[in-house]
Amino acid sequence: MPVTITIDAAPYAFTASADRLALIVIDMQRDFLEPGGFGASLGNDVARVRPSIAPTRRLLDGFRAAGLPVFHTRECHLPDLSDCPPAKHGRGPGPLRIGDPGPMGRILIRGEPGADIIPELAPLPGEVVIDKPGKGAFHATSLGDELARRGISHLVFAGVTTEVCVQTTMREANDRGFDCLLATDATDSYFPEFKAATVAMITAQAGIVGWAAPVDAVLAGLR
Ligand code: C5J
For the segment 113-148, what is each residue's pLDDT rounded down to a tens digit? Answer: 999 999 999 999 999 999 999 999 999 999 999 999
Tell me the backbone φ, ψ of residue 189, rounded to 5 degrees.
Answer: -125, 155
Q: Provide the pLDDT for residue 151.
A: 98
Question: In terms of pLDDT, which residue wins out, 92 or 35?
Answer: 35
d(CA 140, CA 132): 7
**Residue with CA closest to ligand 1 atom 6:** 164
Cα(136) to centroid(ligand 1), Å: 9
Residue 25 in contact with residue 56, Cβ under 8 Å? yes
What DSSP assignment string belongs to 68-92? --EEEEEE-B-TT-TTS-HHHHT--
Contact residues for 213 (Cβ-Cβ < 8 A; gap 6+): 7, 8, 9, 10, 14, 181, 182, 183, 184
Three-state DSSP state, 67:
coil
Q: Provide the pLDDT for residue 65.
A: 98
Instruction: Give me the chain's average pLDDT, please.
Output: 97
Question: In terms of pLDDT, which residue wins out, 77 or 93?
Answer: 77
For the segment 143-185, what is each residue's pLDDT rounded down to a tens digit? Answer: 999 999 999 999 999 999 999 999 999 999 999 999 999 999 9
For the segment 51-89, what is each residue's pLDDT rounded down to a tens digit? Answer: 999 999 999 999 999 999 999 999 999 999 999 999 999
75 lines ligand 1 (CB under 6 A): yes
Choose the residue to mutate in 38, 75, 182, 194 for probing ligand 1, maximizing ligand atoms within 8 Å of C-beta: 75
84 lines ligand 1 (CB under 6 A): no
pLDDT at 221 over 80: yes
For the segment 30-41, what is each residue's pLDDT rounded down to a tens digit? Answer: 999 999 999 999
165 lines ligand 1 (CB under 6 A): yes
Amino acid type, 130? I
32 lines ligand 1 (CB under 6 A): yes
- Catalytically annotated residues: 27, 132, 165
Q: Provide the pLDDT for residue 107.
A: 96
Query: Which of 68-72, 86-90, 204-208, 209-213 comes out lowest in average pLDDT?
Result: 86-90
Band (190; pLDDT cuts 50, 70, 90): very high
Cα(5) to centroid(ligand 1), Å: 30
Q: DSSP class of residue 120?
A: G
Band (2; pLDDT cuts 50, 70, 90): confident
pLDDT at 1 over 90: no
